[in-house]
């Protein structure tokens, strides 16, 4: 329970119609969730405008309405507030309603095209091992201390996000690690939160369906750093083309990590094998269980954040050396016939290139690399041909298959991918839209010590076809196919 005008603190109001001294029992952006005494914020969305549901919200018990345009007819006894940006308004209101939870923990946000889940999860595991009670908000799942909750988004909407942060505070969390997706930054899901630290991994091709241009995508990611407070730290990747631009206008303390240049957090790879990475980190030799150069970058980001958050250098490296990555990220299994199967969430051209380059370095001789990959429907179409081209270039054999077609025709997605193949690429590839059959075929084509990469869905336990989530787990299917080999 809170008083409406108290949670409006920070919200620029264009006009007010009604009483703002009333008690409110909650903030909602979805009319279907409204209960007695709530304030309903009408958000202009991609498919609908929340304003269409004001009547429904009032019928369900809303006592106040926040909107960008007043409706033609206003109900007596209801308070109407006009704002210029409803996304921003709900973020500030939710943060106040839940008692400014971000100010009661050390909140560290991670942004970038690839690596967010890996970095945030490693931070959660590291700080938990170091003895802190921690929260995690990630694509794979959310954690409140040891409790695990399912995640629906990489970064939840502002109301769910602040409610989760408040629960973390209640449960005694002192540190919270969260992924900040570009959608979330753009839609103000994280507006108003007080960040102790912010990390940047990299920016490459993705989400151009939403952001339209790469420059706009960069601008959105950069705005996360631009809005940090001066008492926060901001850590970026010096080896990444946009690494310094990201921090150009931030007032936070700036730090960089690098594997190639002189930097605050300097790493060097000595060995990169299936057994893990051996690295020099700020003059100390450390063995890590994660694989690949891209993970060396993720580890440096984690190390930098731990040091900036005040943890002890030697303890941090000791614990980090024992950590495993996030579920479905370079997760490998070996069959009895010594075929290596790798499940990975690579769903961008850059991620595929990194994973396949890593695999190339792990090959001892002329083992085949058989890649199974698809692209999601209702998402950036321009990455499809590029993902197919990169996969063909770096694999011996390529099987194009379905990912989550969502509302699109799977055959059309596959045709979009095939567009990216030149004649050499076409010769080494086949298209099998049924993902299970595709994995079965990859196993049938593999010989001893060959490597199979199943990319794009990582931890996901479903396949979204026409809005219906069918059970599907890449790792389970691969294990099943491996088991059949022994019969
Ligand atoms: C493109 C996008 O980000 N869409 C998000 C957006 O939906 P939308 O704009 O389509 O909303 P809408 O359906 O038009 O509805 C507008 C408003 O009316 C409300 N409404 C709607 C129906 C009703 O009966 N009553 C009602 O009040 C809705 O709650 C909403 O507030 O707002 C919704 C509520 O917060 C989100 O659930 C939804 O995420 C959709 C499901 C989604 O797929 N988002 C993806 C693209 C996304 O956000 N991904 C990033 C990760 C990307 C990455 O890291 O790779 C993420 O952070 O998860
Ligand atoms: N630092 C990195 N640079 C490039 N590729 C990476 C990096 N870290 C991980 N990857 C690749 O990207 C995939 C996704 O990694 P991860 O889930 O950590 O990223 P994410 O940013 O959380 O993705 P999403 O935007 O879907 O939430 C991994 O499976 C791996 O293939
Ligand atoms: N968070 C990413 C995940 C994509 C994973 C892939 N399996 C797909 O469905 O496209 C996105 O929303 O673009
Ligand atoms: Mg993620």
Co-location of 268 and 338 in the same domain: no
Co-location of 262 and 362 in the same domain: no
Which of 34, 66, 97 finishes a domain? 97
Q: CB of 204 closer than 6 A to ligand 2?
A: no
User: What crossing angle do the helices spanning 293-308 and 313-320 adopt, rounded to 10°?
Assistant: 150
Co-location of 30 and 140 in the same domain: no
Q: How far apart are CA 198 and CA 53, in angstroms?
A: 36
Which pLDDT tens digit goes with each residue over 324-346?
Answer: 999 999 999 999 989 999 999 99
Q: What is the pTM of this model?
A: 0.96
326: in domain = no
Task: Please choose, from the candidates 9, 14, 36, the residue with its C-alpha nearest in 3D space to the C-alpha of residue 23.
Answer: 36
Q: Atom 10, ligand 3: which residue's CA is nearest?
A: 376
138: in domain = yes
325: in domain = no
Residue given tokens 């405008």 in the structure block: 49
Co-location of 158 and 280 in the same domain: yes
Which residues are placed with Cβ below 5 angstroms of ligand 4, an ion?
116-117, 139, 154, 179
Co-location of 111 and 260 in the same domain: yes
pLDDT at residue 209 in the model: 87
**Residue 474: partners with Cβ closer than 8 Å, 6 or more residues away:** 328, 343, 435, 439, 454, 457, 458, 460
Distance, CA 7 to ligand 1 centroid (Å)? 23
DSSP-derived letter for residue 143 is E
Residue given tokens 């498919």 in the structure block: 47
Distance, CA 375 to ligand 3 centroid (Å)? 8
Co-location of 227 and 354 in the same domain: no
Co-location of 233 and 337 in the same domain: no
Co-location of 446 and 347 in the same domain: yes
Q: Please, are residues 372 and 399 in contact by the beta-carbon 8 Å criterion?
A: yes
Which of 74, 97, 120 finishes a domain? 97
Residues of each annotated binding site = 31, 112-118, 154-155, 181, 187, 189, 379, 403-406, 456, 460
Co-location of 394 and 307 in the same domain: no
115: in domain = yes
Q: Please, are residues 445 and 439 in contact by the beta-carbon 8 Å criterion?
A: no
Task: Please choose, from the candidates 196, 198, 8, 186, the residue with its C-alpha nearest in 3D space to the C-alpha of residue 103.
Answer: 196
pLDDT at residue 487 in the model: 66
**What does residue 52 show for φ and ψ, rounded to 5 degrees?**
-60, -20
Would you state the structure tokens that stand for residue 306, as one six-digit string?
Answer: 């731990």
pLDDT at residue 255 in the model: 98
ipTM of the complex model: 0.97
Which pLDDT tens digit goes with each residue over 349-385?
Answer: 999 999 999 999 888 888 999 999 999 999 999 999 9
93: in domain = yes
259: in domain = yes
Distance, CA 224 to ligand 3 centroid (Å)? 22
Q: CB of 154 closer than 6 A to ligand 3?
A: yes
Which pLDDT tens digit goes with each residue over 265-298?
Answer: 999 999 999 889 999 999 999 999 999 999 999 9
Co-location of 372 and 278 in the same domain: no
CATH code, domain with 142: 3.40.1190.10
Structural domain count of the chain: 3
Q: How far apart are CA 256 and CA 265, in angstroms?
A: 6
Co-location of 10 and 112 in the same domain: no
Atom of ligand 3 nearest to the CA of 456: 7
Q: How far apart are CA 417 and CA 374, in angstroms?
A: 8
Ligand nearest to the CA of 180: 1
Distance, CA 75 to ligand 2 centroid (Å)? 49
Q: CB of 383 closer than 6 A to ligand 3?
A: no
Which pLDDT tens digit goes with each residue over 381-440?
Answer: 999 999 999 999 999 999 999 999 999 999 999 999 999 999 999 999 999 999 999 999
**Segments forming the whole domain that contains residue 53:** 2-97
DSSP string of 111-134, one letter each residue: ESSSSHHHHHHHHHHHHHHTT--E
Which of 43, 76, 97 finishes a domain? 97
Distance, CA 47 to ligand 1 centroid (Å)? 9
């Amino acid at each position: 329970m809170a008083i409406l005008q108290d949670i409006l603190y920070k919200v620029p109001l264009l006009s007010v119609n009604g009483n703002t001294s009333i008690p409110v029992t909650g903030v909602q952006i979805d009319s279907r969730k409204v209960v007695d005494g709530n304030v309903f914020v009408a958000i202009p969305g991609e498919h609908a405008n929340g304003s269409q549901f004001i009547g429904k919200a009032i019928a369900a018990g809303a006592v106040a309405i926040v909107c960008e345009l007043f409706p033609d007819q206003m109900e007596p006894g209801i308070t109407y507030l006009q704002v210029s940006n409803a996304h921003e308004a709900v973020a500030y209101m939710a943060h106040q309603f839940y008692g400014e939870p971000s100010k009661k923990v050390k909140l560290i946000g991670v942004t970038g095209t690839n690596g967010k889940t890996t970095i945030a999860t490693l931070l959660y595991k590291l700080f938990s091992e170091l003895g802190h009670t921690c929260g995690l908000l990630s694509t794979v799942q959310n954690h409140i201390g040891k409790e695990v909750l399912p995640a629906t988004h990489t970064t939840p909407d502002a109301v769910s996000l602040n409610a989760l942060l408040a629960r973390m505070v209640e449960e005694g969390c002192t540190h919270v690690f969260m992924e900040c997706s570009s959608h979330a930054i753009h839609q103000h899901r994280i507006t108003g939160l007080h960040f102790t630290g912010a990390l940047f991994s990299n920016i490459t091709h993705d989400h151009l369906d939403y952001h339209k241009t790469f420059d706009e995508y960069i601008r959105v990611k950069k705005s996360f750093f631009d809005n940090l407070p001066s008492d926060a730290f901001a850590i970026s990747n010096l080896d990444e083309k946009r690494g310094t631009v990201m921090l150009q206008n931030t007032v936070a303390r700036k730090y960089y990590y690098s594997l190639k240049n002189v930097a605050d957090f300097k790493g060097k790879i000595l060995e990169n094998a299936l057994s893990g990475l051996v690295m020099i980190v700020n003059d100390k030799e450390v063995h890590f269980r994660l694989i690949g150069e891209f993970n060396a970058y993720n580890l440096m980001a984690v190390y930098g954040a731990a040091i900036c958050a005040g943890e002890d250098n030697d303890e941090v490296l000791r614990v980090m050396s024992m950590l495993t990555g996030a579920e479905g990220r370079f997760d490998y299994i070996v069959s009895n016939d010594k075929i290596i199967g790798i499940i990975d969430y690579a769903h961008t051209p850059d991620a595929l290139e990194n994973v396949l380059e890593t695999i190339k370095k792990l090959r001892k001789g002329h083992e085949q690399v058989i890649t199974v990959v698809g692209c999601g429907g209702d998402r950036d179409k321009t990455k499809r041909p590029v993902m197919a081209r990169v996969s063909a270039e770096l694999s011996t054999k390529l099987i194009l298959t379905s990912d989550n077609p969502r509302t699109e025709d799977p055959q059309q997605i596959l045709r979009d991918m095939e567009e990216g193949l030149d004649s050499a690429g076409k010769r080494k590839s086949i298209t099998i839209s049924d993902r299970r059959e595709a994995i079965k075929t990859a196993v049938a084509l593999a010989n001893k010590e060959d490597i199979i990469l199943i990319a794009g869905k990582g931890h996901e336990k479903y396949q979204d076809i026409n809005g219906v989530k069918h059970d599907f787990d890449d790792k389970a299917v691969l294990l099943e196919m491996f088991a059949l080999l022994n019969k």
